């Protein structure tokens, strides 16, 4: 049983504060641009061919010549799914008949690409129909199905239109038939369909979806030779993945026995999200314990300060406990989005501040950093240090680019960012009976099934007062107090409030017209890593509120490497500058600059000159061209 659950998408409407402006950016820039990409009309971007793939698949099914065939990654279809999901969310916020018509047309193309038995995947419809379901390791058929199920749920919830939902119900039934009724062995090489089937189940109540999700989770890692045997049975491959690398795709052990977060980080958190959702749905204590163990493995030993995960580009993967190099980090945008999914589902099991803390950390830092401030370029990889000349250039740093590209051949991150930002309300607010939960501070209006409505006014993450007004109903308001705010003040109707504090949430009884004001600590602060992290011993990072800051060359004479922060030195938040980086607050820090020597090594104590170092929020980095960037700074007395 879930102790609370996400509110529906249409129960939150942002205002024009920080999150609302991001949603508008997605609507105005990202969604149209990404549609151009899907249609191969975006100049200078990698070829996508996604729409053409659906058209060609439809032709193939009708026995027509499938035009220029299939192009792209084996999971190319998922770009359309994620775009549609983002559109669905966006339509609930910004109704747009033209966009809806465009989406309907794409959905029609998708529907026409569905085979009569319910199968849907352009890669194995345009060609290689005999290869369907023969390469679960690499084929991404279940992955693509999962994303399209998510899009179908979202589009139905947003518009009431069930065209895509019916397509995906039929598709789910097809998968059920294959894997349950026909007892086909195996489970997906890339988890995603499990969490999507849970969403389908939540929306439709179809127990086949629940059963199928549970099936895929239950059999994962039981037959450790499944992928190897599957590989032996076929004479083709996608990339030639190592079927014996069971850690990469989390099939090294049954999910309930897994202890450490390992392998491909996106696969991992998508899997854990489904596990957490199922565990609270079915009250599966063993599964809940596994989720909690994996959560602790990530957040206590394998997560970057920015909420990034994946310490290496080799396999886009977790490595070992406390191995968190900044310059060669992977920290894929999608992985932090998936970490938010996981956190949000964990919150449904147990309302604990740490889950909301991690959601906030991942969102305001890695997820937002994944997109240029103008919404036009995207990072896939989000390192905590960037040194032009080495980053993006040395073979060990080739994945750590120094500038955001426009689009990627493997374009999972940009549409993932679009759907996450457009649906932020589901992560920000939750509900259970009389209680309305505020996990993240999200300005706008939220309504709850118990009849409560509230408005939230805040200029967070730059303003630190959040004002809730109960505009309808009454009940309990539960608000997460971020762990970084050691001090806070809560006023109800202007007076100090009575509240209880439990596990990082304050609980207050409220009634219509009540105002609840929460003021958090706006003092910039320094963060330290445990000395168990070899790469961070002696380093410090500057933060304010949920924002991790970084030092860029652009603000620091093009040289951040020779800067050291003064230990315990003053940190000063400058006034909000609406013209800087779409509006931001810089922090100045007492620092010293070490003399840069020509010699590679010297025995001369390098002179240190006191100076002021300037930091900007990490999410705003690399918006002024290629330059040095560093989050963790050496510290000196």
Q: What residues are annotated to the active site?
A: 316, 412
CB 197 within 8 Å of CB 261: no
Determine if 225 is a binding residue for a copy of itself (CB under 8 A).
Answer: no
Nearer to a copy of itself, 491 or 527 (CB): 527
Determine if 551 is a binding residue for a copy of itself (CB under 8 A).
Answer: no
Nearest to 156 by CA among 98, 224, 92, 219: 92
Nearer to a copy of itself, 165 or 633 (CB): 633
Nearer to a copy of itself, 1 or 604 (CB): 604
Determine if 570 is a binding residue for a copy of itself (CB under 8 A).
Answer: no
Pick from 35, 227, 484, 619: which binds a copy of itself (CB under 8 A)?
484
User: How many amino acids of this chain bind a copy of itself (CB under 8 A)?
Assistant: 68
Determine if 559 is a binding residue for a copy of itself (CB under 8 A).
Answer: yes
Instruction: Give min distance, CB of 231 to a copy of itself, in A.
Output: 20
Q: What is the number of alpha carbons within 13 Å of residue 352 lying toward its C-beta?
A: 10
Nearer to a copy of itself, 414 or 524 (CB): 524
Determine if 531 is a binding residue for a copy of itself (CB under 8 A).
Answer: yes
Nearest to 539 by CA among 433, 473, 635, 458: 635
Determine if 116 is a binding residue for a copy of itself (CB under 8 A).
Answer: no
Pick from 385, 431, 514, 552: which binds a copy of itself (CB under 8 A)?
385
Determine if 1 is a binding residue for a copy of itself (CB under 8 A).
Answer: no
Helix, coil or strand: residue 78: helix
Nearer to a copy of itself, 28 or 602 (CB): 602
Pick from 92, 299, 336, 435: which binds a copy of itself (CB under 8 A)?
299
Q: What is the number of alpha carbons within 13 Å of residue 493 lying toward its C-beta?
A: 9
Pick from 67, 244, 389, 451: which binds a copy of itself (CB under 8 A)?
389
Distance CA 191, CA 169 (A): 19
CA angle 367, 370, 376 (to 5 degrees): 130
Nearest to 487 by CA among 521, 440, 524: 521
Instruction: Give min distance, CB of 270 to a copy of itself, in A.
Output: 21
Dihedral of CA 240/243/246/250: which sign?
positive
Nearer to a copy of itself, 286 or 595 (CB): 595
Pick from 17, 432, 562, 620: which binds a copy of itself (CB under 8 A)?
562
Pick from 78, 122, 251, 564: which binds a copy of itself (CB under 8 A)?
564
Determine if 394 is a binding residue for a copy of itself (CB under 8 A).
Answer: yes
Query: Distances in Å between the alpha carbon of 354 and those of 3, 15, 302, 404?
Result: 16, 27, 15, 31
Cβ count within 10 A of residue 76: 25
Helix, coil or strand: residue 317: strand
Pairing of strands 5-6, 429-432: antiparallel
- DSSP secondary-structure letter at 98? H
Distance CA 332, CA 309 (A): 7
**Phi, psi at residue 233, to the nearest 5°?**
-80, -10
Nearer to a copy of itself, 385 or 431 (CB): 385
Determine if 173 is a binding residue for a copy of itself (CB under 8 A).
Answer: no
Determine if 634 is a binding residue for a copy of itself (CB under 8 A).
Answer: yes
Determine if 481 is a binding residue for a copy of itself (CB under 8 A).
Answer: no
Site for a copy of itself in 397-426 (CB under 8 A): 397
First and final C-alpha spacing in the chain: 52
Nearer to a copy of itself, 375 or 617 (CB): 617
Instruction: Give min distance, CB of 546 to a copy of itself, in A.
Output: 13
Counting Cβ atoms within 10 Å, is residue 530 exposed (0-12), middle (13-18) or buried (19+)?
A: exposed
Nearest to 423 by CA among 150, 101, 160, 620: 150
Instruction: Give min distance, CB of 461 to a copy of itself, in A.
Output: 17
CB under 8 A: which stretch of 18-26, 143-151, 430-438, 628-636 binds a copy of itself? 628-636
CB under 8 A: which stretch of 152-160, 169-177, 217-225, 393-401 binds a copy of itself? 393-401
Cβ count within 10 A of residue 69: 16
Nearer to a copy of itself, 1 or 395 (CB): 395
Q: What is the number of alpha carbons within 13 Å of residue 351 lying toward its C-beta?
A: 27
Instruction: Give min distance, CB of 257 to a copy of itself, in A.
Output: 21
Instruction: Give min distance, CB of 553 to a copy of itself, in A.
Output: 12
Pick from 334, 413, 533, 585: which binds a copy of itself (CB under 8 A)?
533
CB under 8 A: which stretch of 6-14, 77-85, 130-138, 557-565 binds a copy of itself? 557-565
What character string, x for contact with a copy of itself (CB under 8 A) and - otherwise, covers 578-617?
----------------xxxxxxxxxxxxx-----------
Nearer to a copy of itself, 180 or 394 (CB): 394
Distance CA 116, CA 107 (A): 16
Pick from 451, 568, 610, 625: which binds a copy of itself (CB under 8 A)?
568
Which run of H or E residues covers position 47?
none
Site for a copy of itself in 300-359 (CB under 8 A): 300-301, 303, 305, 311-312, 314-315, 317, 319-323, 325, 327-328
Instruction: Give min distance, CB of 277 to a copy of itself, in A.
Output: 25
Nearer to a copy of itself, 104 or 522 (CB): 522
Radius of gyration of the chain (CA): 24
φ/ψ bin of 14: left (φ > 0), alpha (ψ from -120 to 50), beta (otherwise): beta
- Spatial CB neighbours of 54, under 8 Å, sequence gap ≥ 6: 77, 80, 106, 109, 110, 112, 113, 122
φ/ψ bin of 208: left (φ > 0), alpha (ψ from -120 to 50), beta (otherwise): alpha
CB 99 within 8 Å of CB 31: yes
What character string, x for contact with a copy of itself (CB under 8 A) and - otherwise, covers 511-530?
--------------xxxxxx
Nearer to a copy of itself, 162 or 321 (CB): 321
Nearest to 30 by CA among 354, 360, 368: 368
CB 497 within 8 Å of CB 491: yes
Binding residues for a copy of itself (CB under 8 A): 299-301, 303, 305, 311-312, 314-315, 317, 319-323, 325, 327-328, 385, 387, 389-390, 393-397, 484, 486, 525-535, 537-539, 543, 559, 561-562, 564, 567-568, 594-606, 630, 634-637
């Amino acid at each position: 049983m879930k102790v609370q659950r996400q509110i529906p998408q249409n129960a939150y409407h942002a205002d024009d504060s920080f999150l609302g402006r991001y949603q508008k950016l997605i609507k105005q820039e990202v969604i149209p641009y990404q549609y151009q990409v899907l249609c191969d009309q975006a100049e200078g971007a990698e070829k996508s061919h996604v729409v053409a793939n659906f058209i060609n698949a439809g032709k193939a099914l009708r026995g027509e010549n499938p035009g220029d065939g299939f192009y792209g990654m084996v999971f190319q279809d998922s770009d359309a799914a994620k775009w549609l999901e983002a559109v669905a969310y966006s339509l609930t916020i910004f109704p747009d008949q033209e966009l809806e018509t465009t989406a309907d047309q794409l959905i029609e193309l998708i529907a026409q690409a569905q085979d009569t038995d319910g199968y849907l995947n352009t890669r194995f419809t345009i060609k290689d129909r005999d290869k369907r379901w023969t390469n679960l390791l690499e084929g991404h058929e279940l992955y693509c199905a999962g994303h399209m199920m998510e899009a179908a749920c979202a589009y139905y919830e947003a518009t009431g239109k069930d065209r895509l939902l019916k397509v995906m119900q039929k598709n789910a039934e097809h998968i059920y038939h294959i894997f349950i009724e026909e007892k086909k062995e195996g489970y997906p090489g890339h988890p995603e369909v499990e969490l999507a089937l849970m969403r389908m189940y939540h929306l439709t109540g179809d127990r086949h979806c629940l059963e199928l999700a549970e099936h895929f989770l239950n059999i994962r890692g039981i037959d450790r030779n499944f992928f190897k045997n599957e590989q032996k049975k076929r004479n083709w491959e996608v990339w030639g993945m190592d079927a014996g690398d069971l850690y990469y795709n989390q099939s090294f052990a049954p999910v309930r026995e897994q202890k450490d977060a390992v392998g491909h980080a996106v696969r991992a958190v998508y899997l854990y999200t489904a596990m957490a959702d199922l565990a609270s749905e079915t009250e599966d204590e063993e599964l809940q314990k596994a989720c909690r163990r994996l959560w602790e493995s990530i957040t206590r030993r394998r997560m970057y300060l920015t909420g990034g995960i994946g310490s290496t580009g080799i396999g886009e993967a977790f490595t070992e406990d406390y191995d968190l190099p900044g310059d060669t980090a992977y920290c894929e945008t999608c992985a932090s989005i998936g970490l938010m999914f996981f956190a949000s589902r964990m919150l449904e099991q147990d309302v604990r501040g740490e889950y909301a803390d991690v959601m906030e950390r991942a969102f305001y830092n890695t997820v937002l950093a994944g997109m240029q401030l103008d919404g036009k370029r995207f990072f896939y990889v989000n390192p905590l240090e960037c040194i032009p000349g080495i980053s993006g250039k040395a073979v060990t740093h080739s994945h750590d680019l120094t500038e955001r590209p426009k689009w990627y051949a493997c374009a999972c991150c940009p549409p993932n960012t679009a759907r996450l930002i457009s649906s932020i309300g589901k992560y920000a607010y939750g509900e259970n009976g009389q209680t309305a939960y505020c996990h993240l501070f999200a300005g706008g209006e939220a309504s709850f099934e118990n009849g409560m409505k509230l408005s939230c006014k805040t200029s967070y993450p730059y303003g630190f007062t959040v004002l809730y007004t109960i505009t309808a109903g009454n009940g309990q308001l539960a608000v997460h107090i971020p762990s970084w705010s050691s001090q806070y003040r809560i006023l109800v109707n202007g007076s100090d409030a009575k509240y209880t504090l439990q596990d990082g949430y304050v609980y207050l009884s409220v009634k219509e017209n009540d105002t609840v004001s929460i003021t958090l600590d706006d003092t910039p602060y320094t963060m330290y890593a445990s000395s168990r992290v070899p790469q961070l011993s002696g380093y410090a990072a500057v933060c304010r509120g949920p924002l991790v800051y970084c030092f860029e060359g652009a603000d620091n004479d093009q040289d951040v490497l020779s800067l050291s922060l003064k230990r315990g030195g003053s940190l000063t938040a400058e006034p909000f500058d609406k013209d800087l980086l779409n509006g931001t607050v810089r922090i100045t820090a007492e620092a010293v600059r070490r003399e840069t020597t020509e010699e590679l090594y010297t025995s001369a104590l390098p002179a240190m000159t006191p100076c002021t170092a300037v930091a900007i929020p990490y999410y705003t980095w690399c918006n002024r061209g290629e330059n040095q960037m560093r989050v963790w700074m050496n510290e000196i007395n």
